Structure formats: C-alpha cells, structure tokens
Amino acid sequence: MTSTERREQLIGIGRALFAEKGIDATTVEEIAAKAEVSKPVVYEHFGGKEGLYAVVVDRETIRLLEAIRSSLTTGRSSRAVLELAALALLDYIDDHSDGFRILVRDAPLGTGSGSYASILSDIASQVEHLLAEAFEHRNLDARLAPMYAQMLVGMIAFTGQWWLDNRKPRKPEVAAHLVNLAWNGLQHLESKPRLTD
C-alpha cells in the first residue's frame, strides 16, 4: 500500500472501532491488528489513537455541517428550510450511522464543548436569523430567537439520536412529525408565555 492508502485504511478501521466501542475502549493494538500492521505504523501516521480519532471526527463534522448548511441556504420559505434541515440530519444519520455514533457518543448533547455540540451550536446560529425574521413579522421579541433556535435544533438532534436506534417510522415521516411539532408550535407562540400555577 502507498502511504496515502495505508492512512485511509487506518482511518476506516479507526472509524469502525470508534463507532462500535468509543475512543476510550479502542486501543492502538486493535487498530494495528485489524490493519495487519505494527503499532508504530499507526503512531507514524497519527501519533496515536487520539490523532486518528481527531481526523475521523473532523471528517464527520465537515460531512454533517455541509449537509445541513446547504439546507439552510436554499432561499425557500422558513417551513421548507426546517423540513430540509430535519431531512438533512436524518439523511446523515441514515447514510453515515457510524460517524453519527462517534459524534454523539464522545460529545454528548448536554456538554458545551465537543464536536457534536459545536456543530449543533453552529446550526442554531444559522437558524437564529430565520427565527428572528419570523418573530419580527409576528410582533414577537426577536431577542429571544437565539433561545428558540437552540430549542428547535436540540429537538431535531435528540429525535435523530432516537431514530438511529429505532429506524421507524420511515425517515420522511419522522421529518414530517418534527416539522409538524415545530412549525405548528411556532405558529401559535404566545408573545409573553407564562407557566400555569
């Protein structure tokens, strides 16, 4: 194998192991054994499993962000953008399940840092301006758009995690229900919501 081919082989093996077991339970020995190379080859290419993991996460982050960003820049109506964003996340989960498992296993949603949390934060920032426009149009406080963007993106992300293990109902139906809840809930927002006693 050429150096480039060996590197890609190691990335593929590392990706599969990280998806199955997580970074902590994966060893350089396992990676090397599956690639049928010695441990120094892994160290030569990546400096260790952490370096390999960083490359895998970086590739998955780029793949997911590209899919979702393209859905947010379509110039369509707000509802259509929401539908496309939900489908983009579900498509990524469907087509790159191992990558999604890696992102959510080692960077849970509840943390403020980590790749998946950073991706969601980036997506929420892009959704903010859509919500701000909708809020202004409906005479709602546009300063609250960032908070609502976090809620919306979080709802879609958690549903995506659930769907990864269930795969039912079908992807378009899940997206339709997500949009139904988000859109119909957004349509009837109160300007000054209060908790009931």
Q: In this model, does residue 86 exceed pLDDT 60?
A: yes
**Angle at CA of residue 87, ends 84 and 91, nearest 5°:** 135
For domain 57-187, give the fold.
Tetracycline Repressor; domain 2 (1.10.357)
Average pLDDT over residues 138-154: 88
pLDDT of residue 110: 45
pLDDT, tens digit (0-9, with 9 covering 90-100), for 173-187: 999 998 888 888 877
Task: Look up residue 78 and give its two tokens.
Answer: 């707000």
pLDDT, tens digit (0-9, with 9 covering 90-100), for 4-17: 999 999 999 999 99
Closest CA to 157 of 126, 117, 129, 130: 117
Band of residue 106 on the pLDDT scale cut at 50, 70, 90: low
Range of weakest confidence among 115-119, 138-142, 162-166, 191-195:
115-119
Q: How far apart are CA 196 and CA 105, in angstroms?
A: 37
Q: Please say whether the beta carbons of 83 and 72 come within 8 A.
A: no
Average pLDDT over residues 35-60: 94
Q: In this model, does residue 137 exceed pLDDT 70?
A: yes
Give the CATH H-level superfamily of domain 3-52: Homeodomain-like (1.10.10.60)
Contacts of 193 (CB under 8 A, 6+ apart): none
Q: How far apart are CA 87 and CA 142, in angstroms?
A: 26
Q: In this model, does residue 109 exceed pLDDT 70?
A: no
Sign of CA dihedral 10, 117, 183, 195: positive
Locate CATH 1.10.10.60 in the chain. Answer: 3-52
Band of residue 78 on the pLDDT scale cut at 50, 70, 90: confident
